[in-house]
């Protein structure tokens, strides 16, 4: 089984943001949602629900951003 970076999708109160995605990216999100559903034993999430957790994961693991954020707080 593939080990995906993204875990369970939190059921949190969202803020609405409207974006346009390239069709290929949407297909990849749908495929990722399907794999995530298989891995977790749950039905696949809507592809749009993956965007926020993926962005959170990206920001949390971006060392340059973390360093800049720490230095701007100090």
For 33-69, how does the pLDDT look when each residue is reduced to its tens digit (9 = 90+)?
999 999 989 999 899 989 989 999 999 998 888 888 8
pTM of the model: 0.72
Q: Using alpha carbons, list the distances in angstroms from residue 2 to 37, 56, 70.
A: 12, 21, 34
- Region of 30 on the Ramachandran plot (φ > 0 left; ψ -120 to 50 alpha; else beta): alpha
What count of other Cβ atoms lies within 10 Å of the Cβ of residue 29? 19
Over residues 13-43, the pLDDT tens digits come to 777 889 999 999 999 999 999 999 999 899 9
Look at residue 3 in the predicted model and tell me its pLDDT.
74
* pLDDT confidence of residue 1: 60
Give residue limits of the domains in the chain.
Answer: 38-67
């Amino acid at each position: 089984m593939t080990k995906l970076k993204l875990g369970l999708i939190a059921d949190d109160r969202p803020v609405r943001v409207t974006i346009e995605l390239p069709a290929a990216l949407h297909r990849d999100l749908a495929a990722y949602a399907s794999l995530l559903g298989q891995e977790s034993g749950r039905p696949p999430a809507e592809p749009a629900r993956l965007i926020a957790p993926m962005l959170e994961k990206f920001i949390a693991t971006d060392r340059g951003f973390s360093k800049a954020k720490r230095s701007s707080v100090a």
